[in-house]
Amino acid sequence: MTPLPDPEAAAAAAPTPSSAPAPPSAEKTPPKQASPIQAEQPGGLLDGLRTLLDRLLVADVFLVLAGALWFGLAVILHSQGVEAPLQAFQGLWQPLFTPAIGLLMAAALLSGALGWWQRRGQR
C-alpha cells in the first residue's frame, strides 16, 4: 500500500501568488526624479526657480488664509472681552501679513501679465 501524500507538505511546496516571482516589468525601478534645480538641462535652472517660486506662493496663500482665520477668531474673542489675540494680530500685521498680501497680489498681477504676453505671442 502506498502512503497518501501529506496535504500540509503539498501546500507548503506549492507556490503561492505572493511568493511567485514578479513579472519582469514589475522589477524595473522607477526613473530617477530630477532635482528642482538642474543646470545641465536647457531651461533646468529656470524650471527650478519656477518650482521654488510656486512653492513659495503656495505657502504665502496658506499664510494669508491662516491670518484671515486668526483675524476672524480675534474679532469674535474681542467681542467677548478677550483682547490678547487681536493685539497679537495687530502686532504682526505690518511686519508679516501686509507683505504676504502684497506678494500674493503682485504674483496674481504678474501671472495675468505673463499669460496675456504668451497669448499675444502665439497670434
> What's the whole-number mean pLDDT along residues 79-107?
97
Arithmetic mean of pLDDT, 71-91: 97
Cα angle value 63/67/73 (rounded, 5°): 145
Residue 40 CA to residue 44 CA, distance in Å, equals 7
Comparison of pLDDT for 111 and 1, the residue scoring more: 111
Report the phi/psi class of residue 22: left, alpha or beta, with left for phi > 0 and alpha for psi in -120 to 50: beta
For position 39, what pLDDT does the model report? 46
Cα separation of 9 and 22, whole Å?
A: 24
More confident residue, 11 or 110: 110
The per-residue pLDDT for range 19-63, each reduced to its tens digit, is 555 555 555 666 666 555 544 555 688 888 888 888 999 999 999
Q: What is the dihedral of CA 37, 40, 41, 43, to 10 degrees?
A: 50
* Mean pLDDT, rounded, for 92-116: 94
